[in-house]
Structure 1
């Protein structure tokens, strides 16, 4: 417990240089406030050791400038933070010693440096700075220049002390509010990043489990598909004269071929993107092939007019795209619309089906976990897999319910164009 108490490795702020820069800006603000206060005291006719006070403020300003310059040059932030807080403590002690000592109401300004040390450098340094501030405050009871009274007027001195107390409170509130607000934003950003990392890790674990199951399924299905392919070929030879049966067998052979190709791609893994392709023509060709496998679905394909851009499209995009197409076709009553456009190097695909809708819970967690599927054999993995693939390629997937019915899936994917 004692070792944890004095440890300096558990500070709340991960980005310490930003904190040091913020404290440097607050220090400039305090120096400006100190200069304004000296000007008001001079206009009030107080006889203070102006040169000594100005020297203390000027020294702190010079030290703050040097610290800021060293931070910009890449020096470690933690030593600069500690040196700056020590300089704040010494400069404040010097100013108070020249203006009444412990009776000066500005003594409460010892608290902000101690707070910053406790938050940013907890452990031995924070405890040491706190002890040093207490010793400096105690020393001011005996070592200080007297506060100049105007005609030994006690009422005037008391009213001036009350004004100083208010000023001390205002400055302390400004410093603490500014820094703690910044710290709260940093902690909120860290929590959001941790939550996103946890969601990504959960999704990756689910994808790993799906990949392992897919590898096992590919190994198990290879033999039955090869056997069925051979049987279909034998039946084609045996029933060459039966034209209706022959057509059915040829369709079966094509479907088995598609299954064999899918398993081959699964075994070989996703290959890197190849040569440049004509974007919209390739999309139309792929959708035409998909139509032959899903003759029961009415697909409305809309591509923009004009030149067809040459792009490099990662092969991993196609499984994600067809997952969404299949989901839309099965959830939308066999009718869907696919619209493509390219704007500022970003491909946008709008996949719309005109029936059904997603619940608020499904929309909230779409892509982060398997969706509840209403299809008889649906596992709810299609959207999750598509979301993960598109995220890896730098794209996004959003799902929205249409006011007139149905679901709108929007895919955005950055695609650098070829010259």
Structure 2
């Protein structure tokens, strides 16, 4: 992100060239305004000096160390502009020249971009320059006093109009830069808070896995002993076998959680189709009663996806949300969409309510909508951390579509 100091420097350079243009225009018009070309040559010569210094700024930038007194510091930029205008006005009538009002926008701009001490210093320097030019200057050759008064008033109006436009333009530009910086800082702060929250949730999950391991082991032993009982009624055998498989799945999930807790994102990609099939089979093993229809595009066989446990949990959360929302059927379609993986999960549930959709867009759990709570926010956070995004929409008539989009990594077998 570009710093405000760099933005101020860029705008001050534009302001410098605006000053050069104003000096040149005033010098060229002086014979027509004053009726004599006596001052034009010296004003053009000095304007050329100021323009040469401005052209030399890229060379001075090589010496820029970024400190407060570097050649590109806002203080020295504004100080040079103030000194340049002071000399220009000295050569063209001093305090009687209406261009002397150009000191005021320079002071106003300095007050908006400089620190307190520097801004006060620039203001005092402008007052001293004005005071000096009141006493010492090269007089303008205007013999007609009435014409001189008329020109002075017209010049004052022109300088005021130009100064007002310049001050409004500069301050609006800086305010826009401040808003953009604040928005970027707020986004970074929100991401940091969300990441801290995810770390805390991960710690809770790890603690829960540790606490559940012993009860699951006990349940597994009890089920095994009951299945070994010869007096077990045949009607209970199938139920206990199902319980045994479910306990094994739970133990496997806890084992994976323990082994992969804190594991960084894998650098090697695995085929997307293989990854999706594995995730869906694991979810269906935990939800055998769920009716699903899966369609994975063959185009995904040639691309890879970095392994990340949070991504697997994100996909499982979307499927869980669809089932908890009251869906009787879940359609899953995966395809390659440009350089992204797109997974659409459609359900025939009651559909997400508009109020719940607004809550989720604002980053709040949609407690009023079944299946759209904390899990969905965790899913969105995990996808955003991996460079992806989550989109939700109501389907025509009935149901909700959750779209998972994630950047794909080329696999070793993909041709470019």
State TM-score, norm by structure 1. 0.88
Residue 234 of structure 1 and its aligned partner are, at CA, apart by 0.9
Within the candidate set 278, 292, 300, 2:271 is matched to: 278
1:372 maps to 2:363: no
For residues 326 and 146 of structure 2, the distance between their equivalents in structure 1, rounded to whole angstroms, comes to 85
Kindly provide the CA deviation profile for residues 223-260 of structure 1, in whole angstroms up to 9, marking residues without a partner as x.
Answer: 11000000111111115875542222221111101111
Residue 193 of structure 1 and its aligned partner are, at CA, apart by 1.9
Indicate conservation of the 8 Å contact 1:367/1:388, yes or no: no
**Match for residue 172 of structure 1?**
163
**Match for residue 351 of structure 1?**
345
Indicate conservation of the 8 Å contact 1:199/1:368, yes or no: no
Partner-residue secondary structure (3-state), 1:312: strand
Moved over 6 A (4+): none
Within the candidate set 16, 19, 40, 1:27 is matched to: 16
Within the candidate set 61, 65, 72, 2:55 is matched to: 65
Instruction: Call closer, same or farther: CA 1:240–1:200 in 2, change over 3 Å.
Output: farther
RMSD across aligned positions (CA) = 2.5
Question: Which deviates more, 395-404 or 223-232?
Answer: 395-404
Within the candidate set 179, 186, 204, 1:188 is matched to: 179
Partner-residue secondary structure (3-state), 1:76: coil
Residue 328 of structure 1 and its aligned partner are, at CA, apart by 1.4
Residue 109 of structure 1 and its aligned partner are, at CA, apart by 0.5
Partner-residue secondary structure (3-state), 2:409: coil
Kindly provide the CA deviation profile for residues 358-380 of structure 1, in whole angstroms up to 9, marking residues without a partner as x.
Answer: 343553445834441655xx792
Residue 28 of structure 1 and its aligned partner are, at CA, apart by 0.7
**Match for residue 9 of structure 1?**
none
For residues 357 and 379 of structure 1, the distance between their equivalents in structure 2, rounded to whole angstroms, comes to 8
For residues 210 and 286 of structure 1, the distance between their equivalents in structure 2, rounded to whole angstroms, comes to 21
1:41 maps to 2:34: no
For residues 367 and 339 of structure 1, the distance between their equivalents in structure 2, rounded to whole angstroms, comes to 27
Residue 84 of structure 1 and its aligned partner are, at CA, apart by 1.8
**Match for residue 316 of structure 2?**
322
Instruction: Call closer, same or farther: CA 1:208–1:392 in 2, change over 3 Å.
Output: same
**Match for residue 306 of structure 2?**
313
Residue 143 of structure 1 and its aligned partner are, at CA, apart by 0.7
For residues 141 and 31 of structure 2, the distance between their equivalents in structure 1, rounded to whole angstroms, comes to 12
**Match for residue 94 of structure 1?**
87
Residue 133 of structure 1 and its aligned partner are, at CA, apart by 0.8
State TM-score, norm by structure 2. 0.88
> How does 1:215-254 map onto structure 2 within 5 Å?
215-239=206-230, 242-254=233-245
Within the candidate set 105, 114, 121, 2:107 is matched to: 114
Residue 395 of structure 1 and its aligned partner are, at CA, apart by 1.2
1:139 maps to 2:132: yes
Residue 211 of structure 1 and its aligned partner are, at CA, apart by 2.5
Indicate conservation of the 8 Å contact 1:101/1:141, yes or no: yes
Indicate conservation of the 8 Å contact 1:97/1:144, yes or no: yes
For residues 213 and 27 of structure 2, the distance between their equivalents in structure 1, rounded to whole angstroms, comes to 88
Indicate conservation of the 8 Å contact 2:266/2:306, yes or no: yes
**Match for residue 409 of structure 1?**
402
Indicate conservation of the 8 Å contact 1:239/1:246, yes or no: no
1:124 maps to 2:117: yes
Instruction: Call closer, same or farther: CA 1:337–1:46 in 2, change over 3 Å.
Output: farther
Residue 14 of structure 1 and its aligned partner are, at CA, apart by 3.8
Indicate conservation of the 8 Å contact 1:16/1:77, yes or no: no
Residue 306 of structure 1 and its aligned partner are, at CA, apart by 4.5
> How many aligned positions are there?
403
For residues 221 and 400 of structure 1, the distance between their equivalents in structure 2, rounded to whole angstroms, comes to 36
For residues 385 and 299 of structure 2, the distance between their equivalents in structure 1, rounded to whole angstroms, comes to 30
Gaps of 5+ in 1: 1-12
Question: Which deviates more, 29-38 or 252-261?
Answer: 29-38
